[in-house]
Amino acid sequence: MKWSKLIDFNEQYLQRGYLLKFKAHYPFEEEVIMMVCEGGCCQKGLITISGYKAGINMYVLFPEEANPDGGISTKWLITNWTKWVWPEGDVNSVLVRSQLTYDEI
């Protein structure tokens, strides 16, 4: 599967392993890739998987209302992008894709 714009993504929820790619800056590189991960009882968050910060702790743990059915609500994430993920970012340029397959690694 290739990358799609988050605002055009046709799935209601982002599941564990889904990837988000967006423009960033310090403490990240110019572009960062984060993966949806589990962060405790029924909650999801994001962990950085690219660049210098890859794998260093969870970047954000979303509130329970973001995870109504075991995944992150796509609509909630779009609405709350600048509050919870990247305040200086433009949600219109965020890309998303499903989990990597074995053949892609």
pLDDT value at residue 91:
97
Total number of domains in the chain = 1
Q: Is residue 93 part of a domain?
A: yes
pLDDT value at residue 1:
66
The pTM score is: 0.92
Q: Is residue 12 part of a domain?
A: yes
Q: Is residue 105 part of a domain?
A: no
What is the chain's mean pLDDT, rounded? 93
With a cut of 50, list the residues of the chain below it in pLDDT.
none
Burial 33-55 (b: 16+ CB within 10 A, else e): bbbbbbbeeeebbbbbbbeebee
Q: Is residue 103 part of a domain?
A: no
Q: Is residue 104 part of a domain?
A: no
Domain of residue 52: give its range: 4-97
Dihedral angle of Cα 67, 72, 74, 77, to the nearest 10 degrees? 90
